Amino acid sequence: MIIIKTDKEIEKMRRAGEHLARLLDVVLPQIIKQGNNAEQVEEFVLQFIDEIGGTPTFKGYNGYPYATNVSVNEEVIHGFPTKDKIFKNGDIVSVDCGITLDGYIADSARTYYVGEISESEKKLINTTYEALLVGVEKAIIGNRIGDISNAIQKYVEDKGFSVIRDFVGHGVGRKLHEDPQVPNFGKEGKGPKLRKNMTLAIEPMVSMGDFNVQILEDGWTTITEDKSKAAHFEYTIVVTEEGPEILSGSPNLKP
């Protein structure tokens, strides 16, 4: 069942999203540096969320043991933020995080890079972020979920990359994963119709190779099957009469 939020509920999600955007766009870029490690990201995030009076949404969710996903290179999503994951020159690092504040959730992800990366890798990151924006633009009243999905898929594939198909975006609110699912591939005009005050987490995951993935023995970390590098961006948004409003993004963000 798709849960339509009240204006008061959206305001709570907006506050959570503003904090999450500051964390991902201002705080973490200072930490994801050569020689630092993923455990430091986790520690900073836990401290940040505690200071704002929030709760780390991911920690304990379906048994997940951390507040963050820190996924490096061929890791697409759900990478563990461990001390032995040391950032080195040329790494592509995706961080996914959720904050629960006053009972409501914002969910968001960014991809960073360490030191120098190739032009094709920069294109991967830029394409993933741009695909997110293309998808968000389709989140207008009267459109359907498939319009978001198709726009993301077309944009990514036209740039020569692949959208991951085994994992999708989703509704979000009091729960981390609500209806509807928001795939990053599909046909225009298909799926649930978008209505005012629907809240969605739109999150393209994009690979330099093909879209097949595998889950490692830890039961969480998901990598590209062909070991190609991947990127991941995500915004929590709300559908409004004026168009989509991004609840977890910073103004003029550039990847």
Residue 218 lies in a domain: yes
Residue 107 labeled ligand binder: yes
Place of tokens 């999503």: 77
| pLDDT on residue 250 | 75
pLDDT tens-digit map of 27-79: 999 999 999 999 999 999 999 999 999 999 999 999 999 999 999 999 999 99
Residue 119, helix vs strand vs coil: helix
Yes or no: say if 177 and 206 are a contact pair by the CB < 8 Å rule.
Answer: no
Residue 255 lies in a domain: no
Q: What is the pTM assigned to this prediction?
A: 0.97
Name the DSSP class of 95. E
Residue 96 labeled ligand binder: yes
d(CA 139, CA 160): 24
| Three-state secondary structure string covering 174-235 | CCCCEEEEECCCCCCCCCCECCCCCEEEECCEEECCCCCEEECCCCCCEEECCCCCEEECEE
Residue 229 lies in a domain: yes
Does the pLDDT of residue 254 top 80, yes or no? no
| pLDDT on residue 13 | 98
Yes or no: say if 31 and 41 are a contact pair by the CB < 8 Å rule.
Answer: yes
Q: What is the mean pLDDT of residues 120-125?
A: 98
Residue 207 lies in a domain: yes
Residue 158 lies in a domain: yes
- Count up the domains in the chain and report the number: 1
Does the pLDDT of residue 255 top 90, yes or no? no
Q: How far is CA 7 from CA 10, 11, 161, 196, 241, in A?
A: 5, 6, 38, 10, 12
Residue 43 labeled ligand binder: no
Name the residue type at position 113: Y
Name the residue type at position 46: L
Residue 84 labeled ligand binder: no
Does the pLDDT of residue 114 top 70, yes or no? yes
Does the pLDDT of residue 134 top 70, yes or no? yes
Residue 251 lies in a domain: no
d(CA 69, CA 78): 5
Residue 1 lies in a domain: no
Q: Using 50, 70 and 90 to split pLDDT, how confident is the model at 253?
A: low
pLDDT, averaged across the chain: 97
Residue 253 lies in a domain: no
Residue 19 labeled ligand binder: no
| pLDDT on residue 97 | 98
Does the pLDDT of residue 252 top 60, yes or no? no
Torsion sign across C-alpha atoms 73, 74, 78, 82:
negative
Q: What is the mean pLDDT of residues 191-211?
A: 98
Q: Whole domain around residue 149: which residue ranges?
A: 7-246
Residue 203 labeled ligand binder: yes
Q: What is the CATH number of the domain that holds 136?
A: 3.90.230.10
pLDDT tens-digit map of 68-80: 999 999 999 999 9
